[in-house]
Structure 1
């Protein structure tokens, strides 16, 4: 099992301390969002250089921690076209320097037709989907130039909201530089969580070959509403997820998220136990 964590869930740590703490936890990788982990760097358009990327990457390499994914979660279909252009250029900058971090994947979700992020059925229109295709195609074209990957994370709060729509995006973009960041909890709602095994198996059938990394969090139902909780504190069907990953995606990066503080070590134990218990 190749287990890591979203770096900014280890809150308030300096560049010098963060890789060390990840290593002490027995974790092998991180998803790194620069401005969330290191806000003091004030990363914006034009900030990245090979020097900065190598400096950050070397700290992680010194502790045998892989930067598995660079997180650049921006609204790629922002309704303000000027703001959208700025966000797309920031993502492309991450793509250009990803290799200098020792990383090959830059990831995002697919945004929102409104400036304010959150669930809305307005995301589920054909127009919203077509805007995603245009933005993802532009990002993938840049990724192809630098031999890196655009990782798209589908989820019900975004235009790419189901396994079928994710498969459609893969078919329409037509590039192996487009891969999937699979977060099983993000595909669940109050209506379908009791059928999560069916949802997950559909995802593996439709785009399992394109899954490049996996997020691990959990969920519960509180007063009829689905809410995310730390790993091991909820209802997610890890048996189904790990049965696929263990025998189809050996050593894939599994990155814990929404799991902080005292929940980190218990979450690690929980995931390892679930993974080890899986029998083909």
Structure 2
């Protein structure tokens, strides 16, 4: 029941069929696809995505047996500029409306910072920023519910949703099955909390395991107090713990490699195979 995929643009920016063929040759059955980053010739803006383009992209992947597990649309949902945020939400809604034409249902985003440049901001952890996020996600979920799609939210330690507890609070505030979670344990880890790795891997399964729809897989190192994200198998994360939880509680879920291009793909596959329960 193991399903391993990749972030598509780690394997180039190509026509959809060529990119899917490349992913399939590298041992992947599914992918996260950010259209402007992954598909050659695209520079989509709000209002540009349409059924014909969506069908072409979806067909290119389907012809090679690669599922579009999630469309990446990594806008900043707490951008403090009302006009900019409105256009970003509109762009995300385009993806929600047309993801079904690509054979998928999930559109993914991170939770941002209250800065127009998406830069680190001291107010990221504030209640005001959390409530701004709730308003944006609620608006996106309303569109998702109307068109049978899902908003897939990914936490990051430096963003508005910085801990599993905050993700649970967001789920409780939104109260809709059209909001699901991308669980990337490395995103919750930094140089200050890496010794709590086991908790940060396990706690999301305990708090909101029913909402976890996608797993992101990468790794990290901490050397001389410096934290660095690396490809799966090149770091210190306990993949035995993560793979055991996935196999037990989320069989068949798409596990998508990040920061893991063709130069390290064999290492990544071997590492997952080594730690996946038989």
TM-score category (smaller protein): over 0.9
Q: Is the 8 A contact 2:61 2:68 kept in 1?
A: yes
1:216 is aligned to 217
1:184 is aligned to 185
Q: How many residue pairs get matched?
A: 277
1:58 is aligned to 59
What does 1:74-153 correspond to in 2, within 5 Å? 74-153=75-154
Q: Could you list the runs of 5+ residues in structure 1 that have no partner in the other structure?
A: none
**1:276 Cα offset (Å):** 3.5
2:20 is aligned to 19
**1:118 Cα offset (Å):** 4.2
**1:262 Cα offset (Å):** 1.2
CA–CA distance in 2 between the matches of 1:81 and 1:116?
A: 14
Name segments (4+ residues, structure 1) moved above 3 Å: 118-121
Deviations 1:120-140 (CA, angstroms, capped at 9, x unpaired): 442100001000000000000
Which is further off, 98-107 or 194-203? 194-203
**1:39 Cα offset (Å):** 5.0
| 2:194 is the counterpart of 1:193 | yes
Structure-1-length-normalised TM-score = 0.96
CA–CA distance in 1 between the matches of 2:248 and 2:13?
A: 36
- Report the 3-state secondary structure (helix = DSSP H, G, I; strand = E; otherwise coil) of the residue aligned with 2:261: coil
Q: Could you list the runs of 5+ residues in structure 2 that have no partner in the other structure?
A: none
**1:260 Cα offset (Å):** 1.5
TM-aligned CA distance change 1:39 to 1:16, over 3 Å: closer
Q: Is the 8 A contact 1:9 1:260 kept in 2?
A: yes
Deviations 1:126-167 (CA, angstroms, capped at 9, x unpaired): 001000000000000100001110000011121111010000
- Report the 3-state secondary structure (helix = DSSP H, G, I; strand = E; otherwise coil) of the residue aligned with 1:40: coil
CA–CA distance in 2 between the matches of 1:61 and 1:98?
A: 13
Q: Is the 8 A contact 1:118 1:157 kept in 2?
A: no
2:236 is aligned to 235
CA–CA distance in 1 between the matches of 2:201 and 2:185?
A: 7
2:269 is aligned to 268
